[in-house]
Every structure is written in structure tokens, then in C-alpha cells.
Structure 1
Amino acid sequence: MAQNKLLRMDNMGIVVESLDDAISFFTEIGLKLEGRAMIEGEWAGSVTGLGDQSVEIAMMVTPDGHSRLELSRFLTPQTISDHRIAPVNSLGYLRVMFTVEDIDELVARLIKKGAQLVGEVVKYGETYKLCYIRGTEGLLVGLAEELGKK
């Protein structure tokens, strides 16, 4: 019997209230807008289990082209719960993490644009500098800088 072979992780999805604000925030981190589209109809609802739906999406891509973030704004049906203010030890998918070149510079720039540092920027041994921030709409984002790779 043949065994299924995982090929790649295609994308991670985040539901937002404002696509424009989310695009701006993730662009500031360094992702690029790959495209925007409306996803509508029963066929889409057959995948999500939501029935007839109307969703505006924006696909963001990392500079290396390997990872994508799908931002979704549901027009119908309306969103029914909000996990954005959940603490990091809550169940479920809560954050996405990005590796960046200069974490201190990026954190300072994001704070000027309204983001909040969750704890503090810390060193993990001699390997990484890490932090969590809450960006647009309170979205939780992890940032990591690899040390010794300059």
C-alpha cells in the first residue's frame, strides 16, 4: 500500500476585520501582497462547512516565496467568535512566527505603528532573540532573529 507523502505547508489562514489594515501590518513585517480575491458560493462553503459564503481574501507571501499567509474577511456568514485576545496558553492556533534580520529595529518600527510588545525581547541561549507582539486587531505574531548569522 502506497503511503501519502507530505509535499509542503501551503499557507496559514487568519480571519480579520480589515484586510487593508492586516495587509499593511504584514507588509511592514516584510511579506508581500500576492493577490486579493472574492471567494463566494456554495462550492466554497462545501470546503469550510459554512454553506453559502462570501469571503474576501488577501494572500501574503514571504520574501523567499515559500510561505504564505491567507488573510480572510468574512462578509457572510458573520464571524461568530474572537480569539485575538486569548493568552498564548489557550488552545488552538494563536500565532504565526517569522524569522527576521533585525528584531530590535522591526519591533521599534511596529510599536510606532501601534503594535504592542507582549512580554519582552529575550535571548534563547546564543541561538535566537525572540518576542511576541500584538499587531493590527490584536493579532499575535512571534518574531525571531537568528544570532550569529549576520
Structure 2
Amino acid sequence: MAIKLENIGIAVRDLEAAIAFFTDLGLTLLGRDTVCGEWTDTAVGLDGNHAHIAMLETPGGSARLELFQYLHPDPIETEPTRPNEIGMHRIAFSVDNIDDALVIAAKHGCHPLRGVATYQDVYKLTYVRGPSDIIVMLAQELQRV
């Protein structure tokens, strides 16, 4: 059986803010839609499912990110995810320059959880709290392994 990762889906509070954050980081907005009806109820498993969605893609098309802003059922606020919690944890991006990426993130009010670390002189990396409290890992490769 052939398999490939289609996309990562994330529910957000503010679709416009999330789109702005991820496009500023370098993703491309592929399209937007509003989805509802029996097919979405069936696919998602929520009665009355109604959401605004946006599909974004990384440069080169290697990965896609689908963002949802739910209209119905009402979005459920939860505590922000912590790095050691079980379940969906974070989304990670390789960047050419972590300092530039952090400047972009800061324009959106998104800052490192603690700071920038260096892993074995191979990566500089950090976790930032992104839009809707999504944990976003930014990693800059320092040398080829």
C-alpha cells in the first residue's frame, strides 16, 4: 500500500491571523473555502460541521497545512498544549535563518517559550507559541549530517 502525508490540520481561533503568520514564515496560501453539509458531518464526525478553511503549502510543495476556524459546533477553548503532553504536540519547520524567522514570528506576537538552543552543533532550534497557542518549532540546520 502506498501512503503519503496529505496535510496537517489545525483548528484556530482566528483564521486570518493564522494565515498571516504562516504566509509570513514562507508558506503559500493555496485556497480557502467554507465547508458544511452532510459530507463534512460524515468525514469529520461532527453534526452540523461548518468551518472556514484555508490550505497552505511549504515552498517546493513538500507539505501542506490546513487551518480550520469552526463556526459550528462552537469552538472549544482548551489550555495551551505543553511540550510534554500526549497527543498532537507541535508543527516543525526548517528555516534558512532562525533569527529572521523569529523577527517574523515576533511581528505576530509569537515568541520562544524559552530561547534558542543548539543541538550538537547541527541545529539551532526553538519552540514558539504561534497563533491560537499552536506550538511551532523552528529549526535552522547548521551543517549537513
TM-score by length of 1: 0.90
Match of 2:30 among 24, 28, 34: 34
Residues 48-73 of structure 1, C-alpha deviation per residue, up to 9 Å, x if partnerless? 11022111100010011120000001
Any residues of structure 2 matched to 1:57-96 within 5 Å, and which?
A: 57-83=53-79, 85-96=80-91
Any residues of structure 2 matched to 1:1-150 within 5 Å, and which?
A: 4-6=1-3, 8-83=4-79, 85-148=80-143
Residues 29-55 of structure 1, C-alpha deviation per residue, up to 9 Å, x if partnerless? 110100000111011110111022111
Q: Is the 8 A contact 1:100 1:145 kept in 2?
A: yes
Q: Percent identity?
A: 38
Structure 2 portions without partners, runs of 5+: none
Q: Is the 8 A contact 2:18 2:131 kept in 1?
A: yes
- RMSD over aligned Cα atoms: 1.4
> Considering only CA atoms, is the larger Rg found in Structure 1 or Structure 2?
1
**Number of positions where the alignment pairs a residue of Structure 1 with one of Structure 2:** 144
Larger RCO, structures 1/2 (Cα 8 Å, 6+ apart): 2
Structure 1 portions without partners, runs of 5+: none
Q: Is the 8 A contact 1:111 1:117 kept in 2?
A: no
